[in-house]
Structure 1
Amino acid sequence: MRNRAILAMIAEIGVVNGLHLDDVPAWRQLLFVVLAVAAYLHGRHLPERRDWLLPVVAATPGAVFVVLDFWDGVGALMALGLFVVLPWLAGRFRRQQAELVLAGRERVARLEREQELIAERARLRERARIAADMHDSLGHELALIALRAGALELAADMTEPNREAVAQLRASAVTAADRLRRTVGVLREPGAAPADVTGSRTPTEPPDETVEALVDRARDAGMTVEFRYDGERAALPPLVDRAVHRVVQESLTNAARHAPGADVLVHVERSARAVAVTVRNSAARDEPGPSGGGSGLAGLRERVRLLGGTLRAGPHEDGFAVRARFPSGQGESEASR
């Protein structure tokens, strides 16, 4: 209400000051400047609903003067338009522009926070996957330790003290395997399952599937995939092996979703010190499917980082490429902590 009264007062003063313009003293000329500044500041800083009606109402006396004295009425209306309405409209435009800029900044900040939350969830999910991979590898080794300890316990040439020590070793291995299973069970998301190369979640993926078998499954699903392997075929450390598998799996999933019908190249290079994985696809030949949450690469980066490697992903020629590099025998210590 107060804002309306201020605007009405500025408009009325503008109408009155616009009368008798034949001989305008200096103070009235200065008043026009003051009115213009006041109208601009009102429009810029004092929002009011339907406040555009007030200058129209204030123009009524000017219209009356047009009837009584044409030139005085025209001067009053011109003064109202030039020194009140136009500055006020400029101020209102600046206020709306500033509000739009502020709303845009808030939206960008909200989207950035959402992206950070999505990326953080992807990193946590990938850590849970790493924990599951550790369970698959370490649990198997602990089971073998318990089995061999049990065989030693039954050996005929074992002394009683050694037999008791072996029994304790077997019990410790069984206890460690059980605790590992319980810990991974807490970390694992309920109902979570690995992603198939077609982009769907399926619990039927073999737990120790090789990259070659994964590529074969992609071909069976209808993808055109070429596989190359350079270097020695010695077994990789379990976590590095699972990481290579995850990089190829996620890359094939993205290619199937975002570049259907494209030719895909999976290239694994093995050296004494590092393993490099490159998955590159050409341009899509069919209509891309709906975009997913976009968190797969964020999870891969977390896994690669924990293993001491690097991952790069981005456009390549007319398609897309994912490149990852891992130390051949390092990085497990950090991931296991």
Structure 2
Amino acid sequence: MRGIRITRGQLGDAALAVVVGVLVLTTTAADSGTAPVDLLLVVVGSAALAFHRMAPRAVLAVASASGAAYVLHAHPGTLAALPVIGAVHTAARVGHRAVAAAGAGVFLAAYLATGPGGQPVLEKSALLAGWFLCAVVTGQADRNWQAYLRQTEQRALEAERTREEAALRRAGEERLRIARELHDSLTHSISIVKLQAGVAVHLARKRGEDVPPALLAIQEASGEAMRELRATLEVLRTDEPAGTPALLVERARAAGLAAELAVSGEERPLTATVDRAVYRIVQEALTNAARHAGPAKVRVELAYGHEELTVRVEDDGKAVPDRPPVPGIGLTGMRERVHALGGTLHAGPRAEGGFSVRARLPLGEAA
């Protein structure tokens, strides 16, 4: 049926229930025979084990009650306790040790009541008590082991997050260092060139001379270089996004690019690092489309999943699969940013023509 998914764990639980039921029936039928009511009790107690993950206490209650009724009616051997032992183990594994001990006590009391109290019955009861004790101990040990594994995984995730934060901090410090170097050296030199060119133009016009075209070109180029350098320094000094992907799409439309935005899934707040990465990916992809795609349509898609966010920017421009572009600084920086967050990036021509950028970013805790 559609909508019903059976996991590997559920199949394993069902197989365990079948194996325990068959084992109990085959080992006890030879000694005591199996009446229909006995068969029903064994099937109920064993089948309950298939649901031990969902309701361990209920499974223990069913297994203990049906097991006690079975031994009181059929007087089987010690292997009749297998369903109860399994239920005791699973109850102790989830922390219900008192309930597990109570279920074991119910079965032991029923088993003691099946005989006149002679030596064989006492020995078998002591053996069963040892089995139940082992089931409780192994259940508790399994619980402690699972807690240790979760703790270890959490520590590993925390260490990875710390490394990523340290890498991002070092990258920020390096950007600030580069910005200071550019400001102290290059900005000064360009300012001198612009100033001297302006003075030369002013003196030439004051004397009534024709201003050389090369001098005007130097003055204009130096001014443009100063503006671009200031914009670059501003980007280096702060890596915070100056808007949203929707705003980037609106700007691209205003610049003449046929762009559209689509959002699917449950939209929710993002962490600062993921939000920054999404903004820069969309920004770089739209910039590349405006430069290289020609008159093309661009689609920006944000797909929110349960554990990851997929960012897809595709155009139907001039890129073709047999001439892949050479990765520039923009694509390289985009890839490094995605990999620093533990995500994946694919950027390249589409089979049907045009270019595609697809990034998968794992979602951390909400901002």
Structure whose residues are more often helix by fraction: 2
Normalised-by-shorter TM-score class: 0.3 to 0.5
Structure with more relative contact order (C-alpha pairs < 8 Å, separation 6 or more): 1
**TM-score between the two structures when normalised by the length of structure 2:** 0.39
